[in-house]
Structure 1
Amino acid sequence: MLKEERLNYIISQINIHNKVLSADLSVQLDVSEDTVRRDLNELTESGQIIKVHGGAISKSFHYPFAEREVYKKDAKKEIARKALELIEDGMIVLVGGGTTMTELARMIPDGLHCTFFTISPLLALELAEKPDLDVHIIAGKLSPDSQILIGSQVIHQLSEIQVDLCLLGTNSVSVKSGITDSDWEVVQVKKAMIKSATETAILSIAEKLESTQKMKVCPLDDIKYMITDLDPNDELLKKYDKRIKLI
């Protein structure tokens, strides 16, 4: 594979999954980790990604880049619009982080009275702009990569609440492997979030469908809804429609 092709592949994977690991890229591209590190350094120097320990992340997770660097922003707005239909007045809602959740927070209309818990300080600031919401941050250690709060303190607090609805972004989703991720600490927090909710909805752009990461969050059967930017009757979703409610 030519260098330009490698760089384009790396950017594509970061756009879709928000984070890539050097070790995984080495296998996928069939090159040494030293080659991957040089590629990541070059992409970082050109301002296209952010290099972190063990890999790289999308710039969309970091302000002030978020507004101009969001991948598939229109698709994420459509997902957010659909997710908003699940939120009813008086609900207790638990939300994760990420750019789709930010779009959702901005769409919440005045006059919707709900209690929101979140593991994302950035999302809490967006939600706090809405006058009729009670907003609570689940406290813990801030992950510099995902910009969410992680660790045993977060998991303990989540065990003490019961919410009506959990809205959760995903790194990868497939019929066979369910919901998967590449970060062990994030996986543990997501497991605790799902456990604390009566119903959980997974929010995912179509490009993440039928992709798999190394660490399992849960099987599809643990999730009530899957919200994508596709029409629920789209051919790509047919393999999911007997396992999960599509929106």
Structure 2
Amino acid sequence: MLKKERQALILREVNIHNKVLLSDLSEKFTVSEDTIRRDLQELANRNKLIKVRGGALSRSYHSYSYRENDIYAYQEKTVIARKAISMLRDGMLVLISGGSTNKEIARILPPELKVTFLTMSLSTAQQLLEHPNCETIFLGGLLSPTAKVSIGGEVITQLQQLRPDICFMGANAIDPDHGLTDSDWEVVVVKRAMLKAATKTVVLSIAEKLGSTQKIQICELNNIDYLLTELHPEHDDLKGYRERGVKVL
């Protein structure tokens, strides 16, 4: 595989999953970690990603801009956000995670909507504050320097005391056989607590993440109530999820 082709595939992995590990990329592309490290540095030098110790982060995941060129799969994420908003009703208590799709939900909320949001994500909370008819409660704790969300025992304790009507959870990877997975243990623990707290859980995922897996399981599909993608609900790529009882919108 040529370096240019490999770097394009690395960048796609980063944009789809928000965060990638150097060791995983080395295994996936069957090259040394030193080679991947150089690839990541070159991509970072071109402002294509954010290089961190042991891996890389997507620039769109950390972007506060909503210009189409700054957000990966912007149009698809807007379609998903509109589907999510259609599920909201005045008076709801809504738990919402981080990620660019959830920030898009926060950005395009109808101004007349009166909902109370709970979030551990700094960027989601900041965007929610733009809506005067919605209340925003930030669930605090130790902040993850990469995910920019609260993690640890304090936020888990807060979640155990809540019973939100609905939870909007971004997906890093989702697969019919392996369920919802992620690569960050501390984030996984928080997401498991979110699942337990919510009356209904809605997972948001662009179609490119369907059929993908990461190393740590958050939950099986039977713990998810709804899956929202930009695809039509009857699309063939969603068949495996429908067959396992997930409502697809």
TM-score grouping bracket, smaller chain normalisation: over 0.9
Q: Contact between 1:181 and 1:215, CA under 8 Å: does it hold in 2?
A: yes
* 2: CA distance, partners of 1:224 / 1:46: 40
1:182 matched residue in structure 2: 183
Determine the C-alpha separation between the residues in 1 that align with 2:70 and 2:41.
19
What is the aligned partner in structure 2 of residue 18 from structure 1? 18
- Aligned-residue offset at 1:69: 2.1
2:37 is aligned with 1:37: yes
Map 1:1-247 to 2 at 5 A: 1-63=1-63, 67=67, 68-243=69-244, 244-247=246-249
Deviation at 1:15, TM superposition (A): 1.1
User: Relative to 1, partners in 2 of residues 1:206 and 1:217: Cα closer, same or farther, differing over 3 Å?
Assistant: same
Q: Residue 26 of structure 2 contacts residue 32 of structure 2 at CA under 8 Å; is this kept in 1?
A: yes
Confirm or deny: 8 A CA contact 1:102 1:123 kept in the other structure. yes
For structure 2, list consecutive stretches of 5 or more residues without a partner in the other structure: none
Between the aligned partners of 2:33 and 2:133, the Cα distance in structure 1 is 50
Aligned partners of 2:27 and 2:4: how far apart in 1? 17
> Secondary structure, in 3 states, of the residue corresponding to 2:243?
coil
SS state at 1:51 partner = strand
Give the C-alpha shift of residue 66 in structure 1. 6.0
- Greater Cα shift, 137-146 or 87-96: 137-146
CA contact (8 A) 1:150 1:186 kept: yes
- Structure 1 residue 62: Cα displacement: 2.3
TM-score (norm 1): 0.97
* Residue identity opposite 2:141 in structure 1: G
**Deviation for aligned residue 1:64:** 5.1
Q: State the one-letter code of the partner of 2:148.
A: Q
Q: Percentage identity across aligned positions?
A: 48
Write the distance in 2 (CA, Å) between the matches of 1:76 and 1:110: 20
* Cα pair 1:60 1:66 within 8 Å, conserved: no
TM-score (ref. length: structure 2): 0.96
Deviation, 1:165, is: 0.2
Change in Cα spacing, 1:115 to 1:227, as seen in structure 2 (3 Å) is: same
SS of alignment partner, residue 131 of structure 2 = coil
Which 10-residue stretch deviates more, 153-162 or 199-208? 153-162
Q: How much has 1:242 moved relative to structure 2?
A: 2.4
Q: Please state how far the C-alpha of 1:61 moved relative to its aligned partner.
A: 2.4
- The letter of the residue matching 1:193 is M
Tell me the CA shift for residue 128 of structure 1. Answer: 1.1
Measured after TM superposition, the shift of residue 54 of structure 1 is 1.0
Q: Which runs of 5+ in 1 are unaligned?
A: none
Tell me if structure 1 keeps the 8 A contact 2:63–2:71: no
Does the 8 A contact of 2:63 with 2:70 survive in 1? no
**CA RMSD, 1 decimal:** 1.1
Provide the secondary structure at the position in 2 that maps to 1:163.
coil
> What is the SS of the residue equivalent to 2:165?
strand
Which amino acid is the alignment partner of residue 228 of structure 1?
Answer: T
> Which shifted more, 147-156 or 41-50?
147-156
What letter matches 2:34 in structure 1?
Answer: D
